[in-house]
Chains A and B, each alone.
Chain A
Amino acid sequence: MTRASFERALTRIGLRPLGPEELAIARIGFFGWLFIRNLPLHSEAWLPFAKLAFRQQGILAVLGIRFLDPPWVDVVDRLFQLSLLLGTLGLFTPVATLASFGLGLYTMGLPQGIGKIHHAEGILMFALVGFILSKPSDAWSLDAWIRKRRAPEAPSPVASIEYAWPLALATLLLVGVYFSAGVSKLRASGLEWAWNEAGRVRFLAHYYTRDVPTNLGLWLGQPGIFHKIGGTLALSLEVLAPLAFVHRWPRAIIVLGLFGLQVGIWLTMGVFFSNGFALFLMCLAPLGLRLFRTVRRTLARPLAEQPI
């Protein structure tokens, strides 16, 4: 099978070749968000608490990754920040993506052994491997700019399936997480999860016990129909998330819906997905670019050509 016939076969199952810019904007969104979120150093702060109680989690235990002692703990944090910045700028990108993965396992993975696991970080590791296995710096990067300066006659990169698979992986990760959460709810509580009293009380509990940015949770915590609507929407989105692989329109709706769900959880319950938003940016940024291009093309078309 040749590469071209293989790409045609993938197109038939919905994985279309994409331009290098679509992966580039996903790279900027993903690495940029993680860089901003990880600017405050945190590994050293965990150190004394980890000495009192620490459980090595999952794959980190297999790899034997443990907290380093000062000053190396700070050095690793700084290197992680640097690798994320380089990934955002697209400079030494293959090294930066590989380093982000290795250092991310350490800086984002180890705190999961203190107290409890926060679920947003784990899936980011897979997304980082997706970048390593692609060519995210072929456009809108310092690497591409340097390459162009050195060889101005070199052909520009064209649309390829290689630019599409990290984005397909990101969608799969989002779908996998929310579908798993939906299945867990159905197994534990059944369909009644969507409209039972526990859902209403959950909003109230968060209002009382956490710093919530709005009073929307209190509003949803009132007896009535609104918490039931919210619960039904949330459970439906989670269980129907695999529809994202049927066509690009359901994909856009599902990804936007899950993003809205996560923002809603923050506004009503004060639970911020933090690092996990990088994955949403990775999925949504190419959609935004496509929308922007469509609008620009429509506006640039002479009036006579536009349908009445």
Chain B
Amino acid sequence: MARRCLFWFRLAAIVALFAFFLGGQAWAVIGHNEYWPFSPYPMYRGKKGAKPSRDGSGVRVEGVTASGSRYPMRIKEDLFPWDPSRLKAYVKDLERRRNGKKKIALAKKELLALYERRRLARQTGGPAIVDLEVSEATWRLLPSGEGRETPVKKRIIVAAASVQVAQ
């Protein structure tokens, strides 16, 4: 008897779950509402008639070693659990906030500490660094793929101290 009741209870719960997911998704898609875990999944949806940009931008983090040389970080490995798109969105979020510059400077310190923790634990193979610089780099998108290593524009979001001294 108890087993039979359990079957019908589970069935009712799973039907309710199906309905909850379908209803939530329909609400998210129709109203374009982002309400975790429901989402209209708008990634890469574009805009009708919009001309594609000739440029692409991304966040760039460079470590500065004691000798002053630069180490371009691989965000996913060197700064795990960050990834480029989340870091870019996070930095933009900080910039928009009150005391944004101060918060970005604090975030930089935390990124530096995170990198050093990972390096000392041998979770990444990068060099020892004393500072880092976060910038938004812009590339000219060429079908040949040329210029990948050298962005055409770099907007420094938070500079490395050594760079500030040099300037």
Interface residues of A (CB under 8 A from B): 3, 40, 42, 45-46, 48-49, 52-53, 57-60, 109, 111-112, 114-119, 121-123, 125-126, 129-130, 133-134, 162, 165, 169, 172-173, 176-178, 180-181, 183-185, 187-190, 192-193, 196-202, 204-205, 207-211, 215, 218, 221-223, 271
Contact = CB atoms under 8 A, between A and B. Distances in A.
Q: Is the interface of B mostly helix, strand, loop or mixed?
A: mixed
Interface in B114-144: 114, 123, 137, 139, 141-143
B37 A59 contact: yes
28 contacts: A3-B7, A52-B107, A52-B110, A53-B90, A58-B38, A116-B86, A134-B10, A165-B11, A165-B14, A173-B21, A176-B21, A176-B25, A181-B45, A184-B40, A188-B46, A189-B45, A189-B46, A190-B48, A192-B48, A198-B46, A198-B50, A201-B53, A201-B54, A208-B58, A208-B145, A209-B57, A209-B58, A271-B85
B28 interface: yes
A148 B88 CA distance: 53
Contacts of B154: none
B37 A123 contact: yes
Nearest to B17: A129
Contacts of B25: 176, 180
Nearest to A61: B36
B41 A181 contact: yes
A42 B110 CA distance: 14
B118 to A, nearest CB: 9
Nearest to A109: B36
Contacts of A181: 41-43, 45
A275 to B, nearest CB: 12
Contacts, number: 183
B18 A169 contact: yes
B32 to A, nearest CB: 8
Given A185-B46, A188-B47, A189-B45, A180 B84 contact: no
B70 interface: no
B39 A205 contact: no
Given A115-B86, A116-B85, A189-B46, A53 B103 contact: yes
A48 B108 CA distance: 11
Interface in B85-101: 85-91, 93-94, 97
Nearest to B39: A119
Interface of B: 4, 7, 10-11, 13-14, 17-18, 21-22, 25, 28-29, 32, 34-48, 50-54, 56-58, 74, 76, 80-81, 84-91, 93-94, 97, 103, 106-107, 110, 113-114, 123, 137, 139, 141-143, 145, 148
A52 B41 CA distance: 27
A49 B40 contact: no
B46 A172 contact: no
A49 B17 CA distance: 34
B46 A130 contact: no
Nearest to B111: A49
Contacts of B58: 208-210
A263 B86 CA distance: 20
A209 B48 contact: no
Given A46-B81, A115-B86, A221-B141, 19 more contacts: A59-B37, A115-B89, A116-B86, A116-B90, A121-B37, A172-B18, A180-B41, A184-B29, A184-B42, A185-B44, A198-B52, A201-B141, A202-B44, A207-B148, A208-B56, A209-B84, A211-B74, A211-B76, A223-B143
B93 A53 contact: yes
A222 B142 CA distance: 9
Contact of A184 (B18, B45, B54, B87): B45
A112 B4 CA distance: 40
Given A114-B90, A172-B21, A201-B141, A122 B14 contact: no
A193 B46 contact: yes
Nearest to B110: A48
A129 to B, nearest CB: 6
A63 B130 CA distance: 41
Nearest to B123: A40
A165 B86 CA distance: 34
Given A46-B81, A184-B40, A190-B48, A209 B4 contact: no
